[in-house]
Structure 1
Amino acid sequence: MAWTLDPSHGELLLTTGVTGPASAMGHRLTIAMTAWRATVNWSGDAPSAVELTVDVDSLEVLRGDGGVKGLTGVEKGLARSNALKSLDVKRYPHIRFSTEDVSAVDGGYRLAGTLEIHGRSRPRSVDLHVEDLGQTWLMTCDASVSHAEFGVKPYSLMMGAMKVADEVAVSFRAEHAKD
């Protein structure tokens, strides 16, 4: 048996920080990845493999917190363009996470596998919390990813006085009907 999850089941959000001497001028962005697909393979009553593929070009800037003034629609578009350039979307159109091991932990599962971003693969483990909501299962996960670990140069302004922080927070939330 296999489950397929996509944005109709939930959301995949990224939150960036700002660093540098002029960081108070910058925005902490909340970004949605609007095109992704996860496949969960089952062995009996337990998940045995998970694969997630994200279309980098689906990046959508939802909002910017902080900064001198609010983030306009034009500025959201510019932030999206800068992020896609940093991620080199034409050369690396997908982000992938695939498991080699799924093990039960208190409150869910530990997914151990490989994360591929910007053409670089690194081992990664994340804990997926699973909650029984009656008719559905709620799955949530929070993690962080380092730009530097994957060779991504964060966007910067003013000769580096303000730049996107190295760590990006990743939040996943999805619901799946019980079979």
Structure 2
Amino acid sequence: MRKWKRVDGGDGPRFRSALAAHEADLLSSLVSSLLGMLEDRESSAPVDELAEITGIRTGNSVPPQDDTMKRLLPDFYRPARDHPAGSGPAESLNSALRSLHEPEIIDAKREAAQRLLATVPPTGGKFELSEGDAQAWVSAVNDVRLALGTMLEIGPDGPDRLPNEHPMAGHLDVYQWLTVLQEYLVVSLMGGAR
């Protein structure tokens, strides 16, 4: 992957880069997997008979059981300290907020992922993104990083390396590559590193 080059024009900035064929294939595969995870979560929501009448969609009221999806769709509210009434009020608030907002959050994540898939060069090579496409890339790559980081159990202190014989060693390299891809694009979006 090359660094991103920002080109400012009359119709707004454009962002240019290039991916090797294997990078484009890997990125497409990861983002497609993310879409599958989001679709599975969305399809597990209970049927809401009032949605057709009110136009208000609702989603799951319970948090995901899978750690990866918990990271992508975290609780909305965490009490600052133990509440004297117990955890019931926080769970009730999270349940209501999740039910109301999770469909929109999934839609936004899906839209960013689909936009990335529509703009990634299928066989690699040079490509150019609009500002909106670049922001979608940042969002979709971040979601993939969150999912992969959860699977690798990456915390604030690493790990920076895994032993070669570790079954996830190659995945850590992919996580780090995604981090660099995202960081360079964010810097370009902010107007730096031209």
Give the structure-2-normalised TM-score: 0.28
More strand by share: 1
Higher relative contact order (CA 8 A, sep 6+): 2
More helix by share: 2
When Rg is computed on C-alpha atoms for both structures, the one with the higher figure is 2
